[in-house]
Amino acid sequence: MSSGYDVGMTASAPTPRTGVAFLLAQLGAHAAGLFADRIAGLDLTPAQAGLLRMLAAAPGRSQRELAGDLGMPPSRFVPFADELEERGLIERRRNASDRRVYALHLTGKGEALLAELAQAGMAHEQQLCDALTDEERDRLLVLLRRMADQQGLRPDVHPGYRNLRPKPKP
């Protein structure tokens, strides 16, 4: 096999499969994809789920703040929030003292969906950690938390929303 070429240090590719970095990227994309598929059953995209969680954690923030945390421009946030509002999951409330801003809140229906989301999240976690014992999972958690911390990643809020869209149903 292996026809032509071989200039000096060809060898078996750089450091791809071997390294932690590659495995993290691979597993991370895999995890995000599985999660997207799972919550598609709730008619939610990862970004929508992210907003619901953010509103539960800190209600009443402005659209611009939320858009910033989700990594999207305000202009894109508007139709994004529109859909969730039309579905009765979130609510825009005018601020009396500054009538330019909307304070965003979860509705009762939104809270209920968030509970379903929690269950989906737990099942997702189990599916992903199926190859690990409980003790191993704990040790993994410690290491990953330390890495995330040292890399300056915020404890909550957006992994790689941005480019995840729902899949068509063939």
Partner DNA sequence: TATTGTTATACTCTATAACTATA
Partner DNA sequence: TATAGTTATAGAGTATAACAATA
Q: How many CA atoms lie within 13 A of 167 on its CB side?
A: 11
Question: Interface with DNA includes 107 (CB under 7 A)?
Answer: no
Task: Give yes or no for a contact between 59 and 105, defined as CB atoms under 8 angstroms apart.
Answer: yes
Q: 147-166 mask for DNA (x: CB under 7 A)?
A: ---------------xx-x-
Question: Interface with a second copy includes 88 (CB under 8 A)?
Answer: no
Q: How far apart are the first and last CA of the chain?
A: 40
The residue to which tokens 């969680």 are assigned: 53
Site for DNA in 83-102 (CB under 7 A): 92, 97-102
| Only segment of 19-27, 62-70, 75-83, 94-102 that touches a second copy (CB under 8 A) | 19-27
- By C-beta, is 100 or 154 nearer to DNA? 100
Which residues does 71 contact at the CB level (< 8 Å), separation at least 6?
Answer: 158, 161, 162
Candidates 51, 98, 102, 112: give the one binding a second copy (CB under 8 A): 112
